[in-house]
Amino acid sequence: MPTEAPESKTAIIAALAANFGIAAIKFVAAWFTGSSAMLSEAIHSLVDTANEWLLLLGLRKSQQPATEHRPFGYGRELYFWAFMVAVFIFIIGGGLSLYDGIAHIRHPGPLSSPTWNYVVLALAFCFDGTSFLVACRTFNAQRGRRPFWEAFRASKDPSIFVVLFEDASDLLGLLIAFLGVFLSHWLNMPVLDGVASVLIGVLLLAVAGLLLRETKSLLLGEPAEATLLEQVIAMAKQEPSIVHMGLPLSSYLSPHEILLVLPVGFAPELSAAQLTEVVNRLRATIKERYPDVQHVFIQPT
């Protein structure tokens, strides 16, 4: 069955609108000022804009209904496109920023008036800050009382944490770009603008590496939370016809879709009709109590 659209769609659209406008302004500012750091920030925003489109594409594709060739649906489309977003941040965002920064360090050129840069950076900070607040609100609603890092590692919805980390890197990148422009003029050292560009590139590589690790894990298939599995086992053991249970197998197919295989040993005196009744009752109870467990297979052992 098609997966539900994650709560993150609003955050993605907010980030898309912000990054699209900011990218255009940054490119204009970089053209007029010759700032390497501003060009890196423009590339950063352009990559982010493309990434939001990819996340929206992943959301749309993940909601396609199951077919004969994809009996469990297309939920992992979201994980695939989130992984591609991390790849683009690493190669295009980080790589181009490093290349441009190194080139500027080797051949620094004089900067024109920094006024353009300051205006653009201020506008970008406002837009990116707004987008970041939307992403934070979405992520905090999901994580509840969990510590941030624990909630991030446990999250099964990359469209939430990808946008959050993108926006956070945007704000840090803007701060680095500001320092690069300011110090290069104040100290009359144009090379510092290139250094800022390199630092932005390193920042993007670090964020991309983190996202690559998390999205790869989701794409390969992460199990359901241990707490949920323990609750399912405890519930199943209350069934008098069950004499023993094996370790359950589970995997997330999408942020709100779990595949569960439950090895169960039934009492040998059960007839075929009784066994079928118990299996159907157990499956229905699991799905009712845990809506995310949408595919339940009871495996008699």
Strands 257-266 and 293-300: parallel
Report the 3 state secondary structure along 245-292.
Answer: ECCCEEEEEECCEEEEEEEEEECCCCCHHHHHHHHHHHHHHHHHHCCC
User: Does 237 lie in the same domain as 195?
Assistant: no
Distances (CA, A) of 121 to 106, 196, 260, 271: 25, 14, 49, 73
Where among 188, 205, 220 does a domain terminate? 220
Residue 241 has φ and ψ, to the nearest 5°, of -80, -10
Q: Which of 248, 236, 246, 249 is nearest to 279 (CA)?
A: 236
Q: Which of 34, 68, 38, 50 is nearest to 178 (CA)?
A: 38
Which pLDDT tens digits describe the chain residue by residue (301 residues)?
444 454 567 778 888 888 888 888 888 888 877 777 677 778 878 888 888 899 999 999 988 988 888 898 899 999 999 999 999 888 888 888 898 889 888 888 766 677 877 888 898 889 889 889 988 988 998 888 889 999 999 899 998 899 899 889 989 988 998 998 889 888 888 889 889 989 999 999 999 999 999 999 999 999 999 999 999 999 988 888 888 888 999 999 999 999 999 999 998 888 888 889 999 999 999 999 999 999 999 988 8
Host domain of residue 166: 9-220
Q: For the whole model, what pTM was predicted? A: 0.85
User: Does 120 lie in the same domain as 187?
Assistant: yes
- CATH number for the domain spanning 291: value is 3.30.70.1350
In a domain, 3, yes or no: no
User: Does 154 lie in the same domain as 130?
Assistant: yes
Distances (CA, A) of 2 to 8, 10, 160, 298: 17, 19, 19, 23
Structural domain count of the chain: 2
Where among 164, 199, 220 does a domain terminate? 220
Where among 220, 248, 264 does a domain terminate? 220
